[in-house]
Structure 1
Amino acid sequence: MRVLMLVGRSTGGIGTHVDRLVDDLRREGTDVALVTDPSTAACFGWADAHLLWPVHPGLRAPRGLVDWHRIMRLTGTVDIVHAHGHQAAVIAAVAVLRARPRPRLVVTLHNDLPPRLRSGPAARVVAWALRRADLVTGASGDLVELARDLGAEPVELATVASPGVAAILASSPATPGERAALRTAAGLAPDGPLVVTVSRLAPQKDLHTLAAAARDSRCGATWVVIGAGDDALRAHVEREASGIPLVFLGARDDVPAWLRAADVFVLTSRWEARALVVQEAMAAGVPVVVTRTGGLPDLVGDAGVLVPVGDAAAVTRAVDSLLGDPDERRRLGARARERALAWASPGDEARRWRERYTETLRR
């Protein structure tokens, strides 16, 4: 079986998922090729990827036309085209329509549609692409419903597992000395409550609400944000957070250590599917406070605290309540870790994808 993966610009969860899925499929004997943006290939070290992004149907720039025809030629050499995201879905649907022989088209929705794609011509194009697919999957239940609302059929849930969960589950809890050393090395006080957020610096993550929650907190905690992204957004939020213990640590390669050192994990996103970092925080046995949106309620269940999107006061109340109640923190942390132990691994998900591809080819 030969599969062509299409994924656009991503330095976060989508790229991480595709990276692990491609590796696992190849280990299982599937021949996988990649079409992506140069920045995504560089981020994940995809040296063998076809760097044919950005492309759009009808693009008139000479280079764009060359890339577009190369994608169409590639689709005629594979059995399955698997597009990740709505932009990739449109590109793949046009390419598959013109390919000879025609491969099967699979689309995975990882994110909610932005407002500009919910009505008008753009929405009709996305809906057309999803209806052309032989299978559409959503990374969360609301994305499954979105695909059905847009006319896709068949549609099913395909959860995305964090590649980092297994190692975190296998690790020991951080000792007080390890926590103190980690914090001191980052220029923070060695003790006191620690609230951790791991997030791209992007509007979707609603860091303004996080800053407002930290400002109103009365628990004496240090709040840290780990992640890179929009420098202008970071500067804006840092100005909002002036005078309060909210610290931006930038991108780091020791995120699991920070999760194990945290007393509470917070994510104030406007929307998420099954956020990989929430999975990892739960595997670390950290009580989580996350927004009630997308796939987070199904992911967290009763193993964390769900708050309304954009409600800084609710975030503050939840964090301060947990920091003031060690027994409740331990109870929720243990429940979160127990929940994480029951999740499918990335390898399990890859095997399920091979089954989906085979079933799609038989239809």
Structure 2
Amino acid sequence: MAERGVHRPRATDGGHRVLMIVGPAAGGIGAHAASLVQGLTDEGWQVVVATAPVTAARFDLGPHVEVSWPGRRPVAVWRALRRLRALAAGADVVHAQGHQAGLVALLVTAGLGRRAPSVVISWHNAILGAGILRRARTLLERVQVRRADLVTGASQDLVDRATSLGARRAELAEVAAPAAGRAALDRAAARALLADELGIDPDGDWLLTVSRIAPQKNLDVLVDAARIAQGRRGGASERGVVWLVVGDGRDDLLASLRASVAADATPVRFVGARSDVPTWMAAADLFVLPSAWEARALVVQEALAAGLPIVASAVGGLPELVANAGVLVPVGDPHELAEAVVGLLADPERRAVLAAAGRRRWAALPDAADVLEEWTARYRSMM
């Protein structure tokens, strides 16, 4: 593994051209794409990006964007696809980040004949749902994996699914571990600052969740678990317990969650999106993530780096990622989630063991330089 955070540019790939198609993204997908684009550019690759304006702005992709993500108006869609097709015809590789981007990549490369580039589709998440919608999505997945030259998954279950649907080549492609965010304040100072802002007990037990407000994040399960844990508080700690949720997303879902919390004074606070996440992690006692599905969530990697014991769903790529640095619970079970949290709050020695294991786990994860090396090798293998 390369020294973490060290990248040595080289100018040996100036003739190689990559068209990166990135669907609308708010989290790990956008951060991963931005890191990969920057690394490729530093090494001399010619990279063109197609993405939505909001994604380009959020992840500083603007200098590389030559076409916007197809909009909703038919004329805009037609123009974007026509431009993308021209770019694809001049590329060595078209790399689609996500399911939607994969469909766009197949559309714009169809029928190019000898001008056709190699097509890579990276799956970063599972498609959830049931019934007709689920069957339709499975059909679209099957089309993707059978036409792509390579399908990668951010977790092994995604790779296994691509293989089962007929992928010619499917591989695990880990997302780079983020650099350890250094909080500007130590634990005591971070707690004092946030406690004053939020009006909460600086000496209490703080449980942190960093997440989009979205159905798949199972934040209703978190609220239920907080309610259950509150009833068992005396067995866990004499101190106050507060569950802090950092992140934004769907306003209607947030309103519903806040109404549920207010109905019986459940100790959950939704504090919105924050740019100072390292400060929140420095102040917290546990990191909690009850999602219905995750791959190798960047926020969990950040929690590992911060030495936060983790309580998370046993789903997707989380068991492999968390390893011995936390407690895994069944998806959608607030009782098990509450039990895990209460148990850890009552056992500071175990929390210390998990914190140390988390830091070791983070140190062993691939960094941006490692991931870039893997991707350039994949690209070259298809040229």
Instruction: Report the TM-score range of the alignment, normalised by the length of the smaller protein.
Output: over 0.9
Partner of 1:72: 85
1:8 aligns with 2:32: no
Q: Contact 2:146/2:167 (CA < 8 Å) preserved in 1?
A: yes
Does the alignment pair 1:322 with 2:344? yes
Q: 2:11 aligns to what? A: none
Find the counterpart in structure 2 of residue 136 from structure 1.
151
Distance 1:244 1:50 in 2: 48
DSSP-derived class of the 1:5 partner: strand
Partner of 1:103: 117
Aligned equivalents of 2:185, 2:319: Cα separation in 1: 26
TM-score normalised by L of structure 2: 0.88
Return the match for 1:311 from 311, 333, 339. 333
Q: 1:38 touches 1:51 (CA, 8 Å); kept in 2?
A: no
Q: CA RMSD in A?
A: 1.8
1:113 to 127, 132, 135: 127
- Corresponding residue for residue 250 of structure 1: 272
Q: What SS is found at the alignment partner of 2:35?
A: helix
Alignment check: 8 A CA contact 2:70 2:81 kept? no
Aligned equivalent of 2:322: 300
Going from structure 1 to structure 2, the CA distance change for 1:28 and 1:234 (only over 3 Å counts) comes to same
Is 1:72–1:98's contact at 8 Å kept on the other side of the alignment?
A: no
1:205 aligns with 2:196: no
Q: Map of 1:53-202 to 2, 5 A cutoff? A: 53-54=69-70, 61-99=74-112, 101-115=115-129, 118-120=134-136, 122-163=137-178, 166-168=179-181, 174-202=186-214
Indicate conservation of the 8 Å contact 1:224/1:249, yes or no. Answer: yes
For the residues of structure 1 that align with 2:50 and 2:133, how far apart are their CA atoms? 23
| Secondary structure of 2:201 counterpart | coil
**Shift in CA distance, 186/319, structure 1 to aligned 2, threshold 3 Å:** same
> Whole-Å Cα distance in 1 between the matches of residues 344 and 362 of structure 2?
20
How far has the Cα of 1:162 moved from its partner?
3.4
Question: How far off its partner does 1:50 sit?
Answer: 3.0
260 and 167 in structure 1: CA distance in 2 versus 1, 3 angstrom threshold? same
CA distance in 1, matches of 2:73, 2:311: 47
SS in 1 for 2:26: coil
Residue 34 (structure 2) pairs with residue 19 (structure 1): yes
User: SS of the counterpart of 1:184?
Assistant: helix
Cα displacement (A) at 1:178: 3.3
Q: Check conservation: 1:52, 1:68, Cα contact below 8 A.
A: no
Deviations 1:60-79 (A, max 9, x none): 82221111111111101111
1:239 corresponds to which of 249, 259, 272: 259
CA distance in 2, matches of 1:336, 1:112: 25
Cα offset, 1:94, TM superposition: 2.2
- Residue aligned with 2:382, SS: helix
Q: Judge conservation of contact 2:180–2:305 (CA < 8 Å) in 1.
A: no
What is the identity percentage for the equivalent residue pairs of Structure 1 and Structure 2?
A: 45
Runs of 4+ in 1 over 6 A off after TM superposition: 170-173
Q: Give the SS at the match of 1:153.
A: coil
Q: Provide the C-alpha distance between the structure 1 equivalents of 2:215 and 2:332, rounded to a whole number of angstroms.
A: 12
In structure 1, runs of 5+ residues without a counterpart are none
What is the deviation of 1:173? 8.8
Secondary structure, counterpart of 1:225 in structure 2: strand
**Offset of residue 117 of structure 1:** 5.4
Aligned-pair CA distance for 1:123: 2.9
For the residues of structure 2 that align with 1:317 and 1:123, how far apart are their CA atoms? Answer: 36
**Matched length:** 354
SS in 1 for 2:327: strand
C-alpha distance in 2 between matches for 1:66 and 1:20:
28
